[in-house]
Chains A and B, each alone.
Chain A
């Protein structure tokens, strides 16, 4: 398989993730979209590492995964707290910062 196929897959996953982030009304869904986008980046990193024979990409991927875990943990915690306070996780109604 060529590098282009991997990059196409990553682009597709990223686009799907972005679509999810932009359209989901549930905050958890938005977090899932972000997850997809991050993993698309991971695919890119791994693919480039493989085709360029450079191990740095793999190292970055490991870091990204670790940070993603932390991000999800913090993100879900925030969502839970928001739910406790506002009794909703509907992103459209979380507009306290509206100008």
Chain B
């Protein structure tokens, strides 16, 4: 047992050690693949530790004083190990490990120093994410929250020479910062009202009804804003599709399985606090459901395979948030875990396809199932899981979410989520039918990827299936009414059927369907991303750029102008005064004589 106390700390410290090693020892980092081996070894050991902790069902809280204050520390750092954190630990270390192994093959063509840099960031990310998961208080969570944001920025901008990647990195950073601003204000307000950052203390107060703070609604709303930014909820979701400029394994790890779920994790973690403010909770549910639907419609018209998956991630994050908002946080968290597995699988599968085809456009793929049957098979498994087809893992978590939302009597969010389920099946099978079946349009010859890439794919696919089978064998506790399971399966199958009819069978022409009246408006809107990107662009241009232009004008013409005028007058004055200095000593004596005369006269006449 003594060992187990230190185990979480070890799980946390290993990636950090790897990061330090790679960051400080430059020759090791520049060695590329060796750096990768260091990172993989560290995260593999971490995974082992996390599995051990999870297997033991270990619960432990350790805190150390951080900021000293009157009467006890103002803030603490520590480790909070409970079932929630345990499950998340396993997910984070597992996906991190698989992604790092996968990256070794995926980024094999990268120059060694760049690969070393990649693994340095990966190790830092693993450390930050684990630190976030293990946070026993809001303050530590915020610190790691920002660290994962930093890693996201660094990894999106991994190919920083590409302007699009650099722009996407900055966009992701800025937009999540908007939410984080609310997060930190909320934390500080909560601290000002209660004097603590710690979850345990806050929850105890919440249970004892000692949290009757008048501004609690505002505080929790501000804290929720952090999750809106991080978990890409409407209206701050615009950064996530752009984040696909990063390498695909990064998208799989950070922008599908782990970091973007930090917001959901935080809301789940702080559920006792959110439960005190039903208005905010309802808002979370509505925004989540709306985000899910909105992102699903955008995924339907996207041709870039990674962006489809990105919108799908936004949509599924909306699902999780909707569950949290409906008071069924454990259902949302369950969906987070299963989604982490099969979305990482889908992204890694998409990465294999992109690696083989050299393009992101699904209409330039086609017939890939024949060329790469293994990738196709695991991709299909992931797609079925995402679409919510039993007995895969996604079906159970999705049903739990829908049941939770229905039980909370949120009818409209439920309808939106049900519609999303239909659209999810549709757009995912649109990708599958277009890219893997149908006529082979792929330029060049596609081939199966290296084993370092196939291994993680198979493992994730096996886990998705096994988890689903395990849940199915467990009978799957009855969530919600009896008609729910047939409904969600029916919606999924309808989506699959529609995609089949449109993209495989050709019975319906997608263009003509999209041109029919009510859909044409939606199609046009979705293709323009509902003007949200343009809106942010406009805000950025109109507000930030206008402000900077104004500041630039003030600097150039007012601040510099004053200086220029002053210097010009100094020059001119000096030029005028220069002429007094004739160089002839007699002139000076003249000045002295008349000066003395003037002083004498002045003294006699006025100084009486």
Q: Residues of A with Cβ closer than 8 Å to B? A: 18, 21-23, 30, 91-92, 94-99
In the complex formed, the residue of A with least CB distance to B582 is A98
Least CB distance, B581 to chain A, in whole angstroms: 3
In the complex formed, the residue of B with least CB distance to A25 is B586
In the complex formed, the residue of B with least CB distance to A30 is B586
B589 touching A95 by the CB < 8 A rule?
Answer: no
* Contact pattern, B 553-597, Cβ under 8 Å of A = 1, otherwise 0: 000000000000000000000000111111111100110010000
Knowing A18-B593, A22-B593 touch, does A95 contact B583 (C-beta < 8 A)?
yes
A95 touching B584 by the CB < 8 A rule?
Answer: yes
* Contact pattern, B 319-352, Cβ under 8 Å of A = 1, otherwise 0: 0000000000000000000000000000000000
In the complex formed, the residue of A with least CB distance to B575 is A99
Q: List residues of chain B with CB within 8 A of the CB of A98.
A: 581-584
30 pairs of residues in contact across A and B, judged by CB atoms under 8 Å: A18-B589, A18-B593, A21-B586, A21-B589, A22-B586, A22-B589, A22-B593, A23-B586, A30-B585, A30-B586, A91-B584, A91-B586, A92-B584, A92-B586, A94-B583, A94-B584, A94-B585, A95-B582, A95-B583, A95-B584, A96-B583, A97-B581, A97-B583, A98-B581, A98-B582, A98-B583, A99-B577, A99-B579, A99-B582, A99-B583
Knowing A18-B593, A22-B590, A22-B593 touch, does A91 contact B583 (C-beta < 8 A)?
no
Q: How far is the CA of A97 from the CA of B578 in the complex (A)?
A: 11
Least CB distance, B512 to chain A, in whole angstroms: 89
B:153-187 near A, CB below 8 Å: none
In the complex formed, the residue of A with least CB distance to B577 is A99
In the complex formed, the residue of A with least CB distance to B590 is A22
Q: Residues of B with Cβ closer than 8 Å to A? A: 577-586, 589-590, 593
Q: How far is the CA of A95 from the CA of B579 in the complex (A)?
A: 12
With A18-B589, A94-B583 already in contact, 5 other A-B pairs whose C-beta atoms are closer than 8 Å: A95-B583, A98-B581, A98-B584, A99-B577, A99-B583
Q: How far is the CA of A24 from the CA of B564 in the complex (A)?
A: 45
Interface residue from A18, A22, A92, A99 paired with B578 (Cβ < 8 Å): A99
Q: List residues of chain B with CB within 8 A of the CB of A18.
A: 589, 593
Least CB distance, B331 to chain A, in whole angstroms: 88
Q: How far is the CA of A21 from the CA of B585 in the complex (A)?
A: 10
Q: List residues of chain A with CB within 8 A of the CB of B590.
A: 22
Q: How far is the CA of A30 from the CA of B588 in the complex (A)?
A: 13
Q: How far is the CA of A64 from the CA of B580 in the complex (A)?
A: 33
Least CB distance, B587 to chain A, in whole angstroms: 9
Q: How far is the CA of A99 from the CA of B593 in the complex (A)?
A: 21
Least CB distance, B586 to chain A, in whole angstroms: 6
Least CB distance, A67 to chain B, in whole angstroms: 19
Q: List residues of chain A with CB within 8 A of the CB of B586.
A: 21-23, 30, 91-92
Q: How far is the CA of A23 from the CA of B586 in the complex (A)?
A: 8
Interface residue from B577, B578, B579, B585 paired with A91 (Cβ < 8 Å): B585
Q: How far is the CA of A96 from the CA of B582 in the complex (A)?
A: 9
Q: How far is the CA of A27 from the CA of B582 in the complex (A)?
A: 17
Q: How far is the CA of A32 from the CA of B584 in the complex (A)?
A: 17
Q: How far is the CA of A21 from the CA of B590 in the complex (A)?
A: 9
In the complex formed, the residue of A with least CB distance to B578 is A99
Q: How far is the CA of A92 from the CA of B580 in the complex (A)?
A: 15
In the complex formed, the residue of A with least CB distance to B593 is A18
Q: List residues of chain B with CB within 8 A of the CB of A21.
A: 586, 589
Q: How far is the CA of A18 from the CA of B583 in the complex (A)?
A: 19
Going nearest first, the 10 A-B pairs with the smallest beta carbon separation are A98-B583, A99-B581, A95-B583, A99-B578, A97-B583, A95-B584, A22-B590, A98-B582, A21-B589, A91-B586
Q: List residues of chain B with CB within 8 A of the CB of A91.
A: 584-586
Least CB distance, A7 to chain B, in whole angstroms: 15
Least CB distance, B329 to chain A, in whole angstroms: 83
In the complex formed, the residue of B with least CB distance to A93 is B584
Q: List residues of chain A with CB within 8 A of the CB of B582.
A: 95, 98-99
Q: How far is the CA of A96 from the CA of B583 in the complex (A)?
A: 6
Least CB distance, A96 to chain B, in whole angstroms: 6
Q: How far is the CA of A91 from the CA of B579 in the complex (A)?
A: 18
Q: List residues of chain B with CB within 8 A of the CB of A95.
A: 582-584
Q: List residues of chain A with CB within 8 A of the CB of B583.
A: 94-99
Choose among B577, B578, B586, B589 the residue with the greatest number of A CB atoms under 10 Å from its CB: B586
Choose among B582, B583, B593 the residue with the greatest number of A CB atoms under 10 Å from its CB: B583
Q: How far is the CA of A22 from the CA of B585 in the complex (A)?
A: 9
Least CB distance, B305 to chain A, in whole angstroms: 78
Q: List residues of chain A with CB within 8 A of the CB of B580.
A: 99
In the complex formed, the residue of B with least CB distance to A15 is B593
Q: List residues of chain B with CB within 8 A of the CB of A92.
A: 584, 586
In the complex formed, the residue of A with least CB distance to B584 is A95
Q: How far is the CA of A55 from the CA of B586 in the complex (A)?
A: 36
In the complex formed, the residue of B with least CB distance to A34 is B589
Q: List residues of chain A with CB within 8 A of the CB of B578.
A: 99
In the complex formed, the residue of B with least CB distance to A23 is B586
In the complex formed, the residue of B with least CB distance to A97 is B583
Q: List residues of chain B with CB within 8 A of the CB of A96.
A: 583
Q: How far is the CA of A91 from the CA of B582 in the complex (A)?
A: 12
Q: How far is the CA of A95 from the CA of B582 in the complex (A)?
A: 7
Q: How far is the CA of A86 from the CA of B577 in the complex (A)?
A: 28
Q: List residues of chain B with CB within 8 A of the CB of A23.
A: 586
Q: How far is the CA of A30 from the CA of B589 in the complex (A)?
A: 11
Q: How far is the CA of A96 from the CA of B585 in the complex (A)?
A: 11
In the complex formed, the residue of B with least CB distance to A98 is B583
Least CB distance, B7 to chain A, in whole angstroms: 83
Q: How far is the CA of A98 from the CA of B586 in the complex (A)?
A: 12
Q: How far is the CA of A91 from the CA of B125 in the complex (A)?
A: 83
Q: How far is the CA of A95 from the CA of B585 in the complex (A)?
A: 8
Q: List residues of chain A with CB within 8 A of the CB of B579.
A: 99
Least CB distance, B571 to chain A, in whole angstroms: 14
Least CB distance, B231 to chain A, in whole angstroms: 73
Q: How far is the CA of A94 from the CA of B586 in the complex (A)?
A: 10
